[in-house]
Amino acid sequence: MLAADPTGEDHAMLTAHHLRRSQSERIVWLCEELAIPYTLVLYDRQPDGLAPPDYKALQAFGTAPIVTDGELALGESGAIVDYVTAKHGGGRLAVGPEAANFADYLYWFHFANGSMMPARMVAMIAGRLGLSEENPAARALLRRSKLAYAVIEDRLGRADYFAGPELTAADIMMVYTLTTTRVYTPYDLAPYPNVRAYLQRIGARRAYQRAMAKAEPGFAPLLE
């Protein structure tokens, strides 16, 4: 999957290690949006859902996503997105402090894994433990998912993309939390028309289509 780089920079060593149905789809999508050369390696989850030993061996914590770049093995979605945009993307898709939407960009970029993913994880664990909103402790925890969807719905009623009128790396971080995460914790998007319209905009992007076709062949992205 290596291609000639029009900037002449050496990106040939950047490898996105994608664990199927995981947050590492973000990195494939990012590389496609930036149109940078990269190598893609796919890994299947083990029966227990964990990454296989060869994935774990890439980096100390061993969770997806991981990229390798020469001698470097880097984990954590946010760190990787920042690294790839800065080091290989010439800063494209990032928003700097000079921009009026800098704070929005930072907020939504970090909301993805700082608030939304934990809320979805809590919902997943509650579901696996058979806890519903009938349980007072679970109700308090599950409220966070609802609140997260409510603030996202409000945001997407005021802007086409999370940071403003253009797609940014904040969207790269957020989209997984609204799509593939629903494989593990289904969530009815019917009450959220702005979220549904946003996901249609994302699904229409050629880079997103290419990324999902390469990263998740045979899997229809959860855009509805």
Ligand X SMILES: N[C@@H](CCC(=O)N[C@@H](CS)C(=O)NCC(=O)O)C(=O)O
Q: Looking at residues 57 to 86 of the shown chain, list those that interact with ligand X (rule: CB under 6 A).
A: 63-65, 75-77
Piece in contact with ligand X (CB under 6 A), picked from 16-24, 87-95, 159-167, 191-199: 16-24
Residue 22 as a binder of ligand X (CB under 6 A): the answer is: yes
Burial class (CB in 10 A: 0-12, 13-18, 19+), 206: exposed
Closer to ligand X by Cβ: residue 46 or 200: 46
Q: Residue with structure tokens 């629903």? A: 182
Strands (E), the chain: 14-19, 39-43, 66-69, 72-75
Rounded to the nearest whole angstrom, what is the least distance from the CB of residue 165 to ligand X in the complex? 26
CA-CA distance, 133 to 140, in Å (whole number)? 8
Residue from 14, 28, 51, 81 binding ligand X (CB under 6 A)? 51
Closer to ligand X by Cβ: residue 56 or 87: 56
Q: Is 151 in a helix, a strand, or coil?
A: helix
Rounded to the nearest whole angstrom, what is the least distance from the CB of residue 153 to ligand X in the complex? 23
The verdict on whether omega for the bond into residue 65 sits within 30 degrees of 0, i.e. cis, is: yes
Residue 119 as a binder of ligand X (CB under 6 A): the answer is: no
Closer to ligand X by Cβ: residue 63 or 209: 63
Residues that contact ligand X, how many (by CB under 6 A): 12
Rounded to the nearest whole angstrom, what is the least distance from the CB of residue 157 to ligand X in the complex? 27
Closer to ligand X by Cβ: residue 164 or 170: 170
CA-CA distance, 208 to 143, in Å (whole number)? 31
Rounded to the nearest whole angstrom, what is the least distance from the CB of residue 112 to ligand X in the complex? 9
* Beta-carbon-side half-sphere exposure of residue 22 (alpha carbons within 13 Å): 22
Q: Return the closest-CA partner of residue 87 out of 32, 23, 31, 166.
A: 31
Rounded to the nearest whole angstrom, what is the least distance from the CB of residue 98 to ligand X in the complex? 28
Per DSSP, what are the bridge partners of residue 67?
16, 74
Binding site for ligand X (CB under 6 A): 19, 22-23, 50-51, 63-65, 75-77, 113
